[in-house]
Structure 1
Amino acid sequence: MDFKTRTLAELRAANPSQKLPSKQVLVGFDGFVDTIVSPVARRAGQGDNFTAFRTIEEFGNRILGASGKSTNIELYPTMEKLGGNGPIMANAMLAHELALTYIGALGAPNTHPVFSSITERAKEVFSLCQAGATNALEFTDGKLLLGQTSSLDLITPAHIREVIGEEKYIATIAQSDLVAVLNWVMISHLTEVFIDLVDNVLPKIPRKRVAADGTETERIYFFDLCDPEKRSPSDLAYALDRIGRFAAFGHVTLGLNLKEAQQVFSVLGFGTETESESGLRRMAEKIRHYLGLGTVVIHPKESAACATGEGSYWVPGPFVAEPFISTGAGDHFNAGFATGQLLGLSPEACLGVGVCTSGHYVRTAESPTIANIETLLANWR
């Protein structure tokens, strides 16, 4: 039996249609309005009558050629959508009918219309400030995200309490089976939020979440750093240490794409590792052990690996060479992996649900339902 068959069997046995609507999820704290754009290499006429730069190398060479001169590059908008690690992950989890609360930068004083799929379906929404803005340049070999983030400077422990209220903030976390704290890189005060949670909030709530039927489950804390390249190694090391402190209050999962994993691996003093299955497993194992976390998961474009206290796991992904959309693929993987954790699936099956969630999204630009994931698993060749 291969991992696809095992994942499908586990997923169906977990009875997600009955189990997931009772799961309480809190996601935060960012929010962006994403404009997906195509950088124009050569225009032949109006509208979309142009040839786009296919690769980052082609685009980079045009920019390098302007050194000492100047150049003009047109960015042709193809789509406006909700963006940010938090909103994309939340939107993907709402497709599974989870009871979700969102706290983040969705607009002020009114939420931006681009987030309507969250505001209309979430259990509760607390918007802290104006959303950031991103121009997402997509290429066949990657993407460039050009962001404006100054509005996110308002996201501080004090402002969160001002908007939500102390008692409501604590109660919301206490009621949650999963707390996802995302986009450390772009929220300048998020390390302060980490510290405040560990020092002032989590000690006031039970370690385990008690469901309506009286069953107890360990609360999951899910972290995604976003690309740490622009933050100093010392800042990154300190934030990782603060994330490690959450292990005293539940099961901590750190989600990393390949570049993020390599940066974390390096800042922890491990040097470099290959992108092979064995290399991904070793990176996940060493990072998890060093930080004392429950799970570390690494998701390149073509596969995914994770490490837990029981061992390491790896699965290939349903890779597509020319995706319909790539911005948000990692956040969809995180949503799928975390949903698998909420269902109590094995680490391998969590990886399988993660790669299928991402795989469906990059092909369709739509967040999959559980039925879509089951279909992909059943027909994946």
Structure 2
Amino acid sequence: MENLLKAKLNELVTILEGKDRTGLKAVIGLDGFVDEILHVVATRKNAMEYERLKTIKEYGEKIIQASGLSTNIEMVRLQEKLGGNGPILSNALAQYGVDLSYIGALGYPHLEKVFEAMAEICKVYSIANPGHTDAVEFEDGKVMVGKLESLKDVNWDNIKKIIGITKLVELINESKLLGLENWTMLPHMSDIWKGLLEEVFPLLNKSNEEKLVFFDLADPEKREKEDILEAINLIQSFSEYFKVILGLNFKEAVEIAEILGLEIIKNEDNKVDLKILVTQLAEKLQLYSMVVHPTIEASTVIKGTYYNVMGPYTPKPKLTTGAGDNFNAGFCLAQMMELTPEQSLIMGVATSGFYVRNAKSPTFNEVIEFLKLWSEDSI
């Protein structure tokens, strides 16, 4: 490990060990999923043992080979867990000690079992039944197969009826961070954003404290270009009331750049140049923070300056579903604590790095210990 990175990790450890997180509050929404984590069987040895398909390419080839013939694909369920960008982000922030309120699709009128543990560490306000996702995991990524019918009930009318404008104003007034997650899978999300802008935000207390709002579009490829552009315009409108953070993975960043008509510049290795991509998006959108997190690194532009850190990458993750949401949790927590942009990126990649190795979100003490081990090349 280079000495400069080691020094930065140790400096962050010292800051975190002395940081007072008392009073950090957030309100997050609005999705909710029950996730089944699955492996695809390549060959079965016996009733208990099997070899898995290791890559998405192998899985795709297996399906293509069945064209005109049909085939049988066996999947093994590893676990059932809470899912959705909002719940995973919220669970990670709550593990860090944030006083968190969650509004979303967690089961209505009764909470789904997978969200009961979350309800013990967060205040939850459920307005609809969750979607369901088959998260098929491979060593090089994952294929998410969603069933979304129930998410049509996540709409502005239901939010006003079940939560109410007065409660929304109270929750947002008390919070440092507002998170609005998974635009792609919530068909009424843009209308919800309009409702917030028109009916809630004008009622917020005027305060010297700058609040943060974090957006995760969540793989907008399947949505119409016009809808995506409308969503981006609405996100820009939030700048009147908040410091706006837009978080994207690398694939999403390229898609949004293309929709915005930006030129995709490649480097000498014929790969998309991350720095140019993030900088162009930041210049075009004019938000407080544009943050992009590929698998092995993360970048942000804040106040016109570009920052990048390499993450603690592992080629053998235990769990990848939710890694991006854990990155977002670490980044947002650091921003809530008013750490530097670079320290915020390090907190993001450390949180996701711990998560993929341990299949759970870290506590504050655990991420500090992880940073120490990382600085010693011992993770």
Q: Give the TM-score, by structure 2 length.
A: 0.94
The corresponding residue for 1:253 is 245
Which residue in the other structure is 1:297 paired with?
A: 291
The DSSP-based 3-state class of the residue aligned with 2:247 is strand
| Contact kept? 1:31, 1:105, Cα under 8 Å | yes
The runs of 5 or more residues in structure 1 that have no matched partner are 209-215
Aligned match of 2:212:
220
Q: Match of 2:332, as an amino acid?
A: A
- For residue 167 of structure 1, what is the amino acid of its counterpart? T
Q: Structure 1 residue 14: deviation in Å?
A: 5.4
Aligned to 2:370: 376
Give, in angstroms, the shift of residue 379 of structure 1: 2.0
Work out the CA distance in 1 between the residues paired with 2:256 and 2:192. 20
Alpha-carbon RMSD across the aligned residues, in angstroms, is 1.7
- Given candidates 329, 338, 343, the residue that maps to 1:344 is 338
| 1:207–1:183 CA distance, 2 compared to 1 (3 A) | farther
Summarize the Cα distance change of 1:322–1:14 in structure 2 as closer, same or farther, 3 Å threshold.
Answer: closer
Instruction: Give yes or no for contact 1:3–1:352 (8 Å, CA) kept in 2.
Output: no
**Which segment is superposed worse, 231-240 or 333-342?**
231-240
Identify which of 258, 280, 296 aligns with 1:266. Answer: 258
Query: Which whole-Å CA distance do the structure 1 matches of 2:110 and 2:222 have between them?
Result: 31
Q: Which runs of 5+ in 2 are unaligned?
A: none
Partners in 2 of 1:6 and 1:343 — Cα distance?
17
3-state SS of the aligned residue for 2:360?
coil
Taking the aligned partners of 1:298 and 1:263, their CA distance within structure 2 comes to: 12
Work out whether 1:12 is the aligned partner of 2:4.
no
For each residue in 1:166-213, what CA deviation from the matched residue of structure 2 results, as whole angstroms up to 9, or x when unmatched? 2111211111110000000000000111111112211111354xxxxx
- Other structure's SS at 1:120 match: helix
Per the TM alignment, residue 4 of structure 1 is displaced from its structure 2 partner at its CA by: 4.6
Instruction: Provide the C-alpha distance between the structure 2 equivalents of 1:343 and 1:284, rounded to a whole number of angstroms.
Output: 24
Instruction: Report the secondary structure of 2:362's partner residue.
Output: coil
Residue of structure 1 equivalent to 2:165: 166
Deviations 1:309-345 (A, max 9, x none): 1401000000000100000000000000000000100
Letter in 1 for 2:314: V
Secondary structure of 2:79's aligned partner: strand
8 Å CA contact 1:91–1:117 kept in 2: the answer is: no
Mapping for residues 1-381 of structure 1, pairs under 5 Å: 2-10=4-12, 12-13=14-15, 18-19=20-21, 21-47=22-48, 49-122=49-122, 124-208=123-207, 216-274=208-266, 279-380=273-374, 381=377
Percent identical among aligned pairs is 37
Residues 285, 308 of structure 1: 8 Å contact kept: no
Q: Secondary structure at the match of 2:209?
A: strand
1:281 deviates by 2.2
Q: Secondary structure at the match of 2:273?
A: helix
SS at match of 1:272: coil
In 2, the alpha carbon distance for the partners of 1:334 and 1:247 equals 19
Instruction: Give the match's secondary structure for 2:274.
Output: helix
The answer (yes or no) to whether the contact 2:85–2:181 under 8 Å persists in 1 is yes
- Partners of 1:24 and 1:177 within 8 A in 2: yes
- SS of the counterpart of 2:197? helix
Tell me what 1:213 maps to.
none
| Alignment: residue pair count | 371
User: Matches of 1:131 and 1:164 in 2, distance apart?
Assistant: 17
Kept in 1, the 8 Å contact 2:16–2:368? The answer is no
| 1:279 shift after superposition | 2.3
TM score, norm. by length of structure 1: 0.93
